[in-house]
Amino acid sequence: MKELIRTNDPVLISFLLHRLREEGIEPFEMDGHMSFMEGSLGILPRRIMVVDEDHESARKILDEVQGSGNG
C-alpha cells in the first residue's frame, strides 16, 4: 500500500473517498480512530492509502479533486 494523502480536512477526505470508489479504487483510511480519540479537534491527520497498482490513477483523481475547489 502507498499513502495517497495525509490531511485533517474532513470534506476533502469524504469527497476523495467517494471519487476513488466511483472509479473502482478501494481506498483504506488510516488513523480515523486516532482522530476520533483525540476528540475530533482535527489535530491528527488521517491518511488515505491505496494499493500500489492503483496509486498512479488515484494520484490523478486526487489532483482533480484538489483542483475542483479552485474554479
The number of folded domains in the chain is: 1
Give CA–CA dist 15/56, Å, rounded. Answer: 18
The parent domain of residue 25 ranges over 2-70
- Residue 58 in contact with residue 26, Cβ under 8 Å? no
Q: What is the pTM of this model?
A: 0.80
* Alpha-carbon separation of residue 16 from 36, 37, 38, 44, 62 (angstroms): 19, 23, 23, 18, 7
Q: Give me the CATH number covering residue 23.
A: 3.30.70.790
pLDDT tens per residue, range 7-34: 988 899 999 999 999 999 999 998 766 6
pLDDT tens per residue, range 38-66: 655 667 788 999 999 999 999 999 999 99
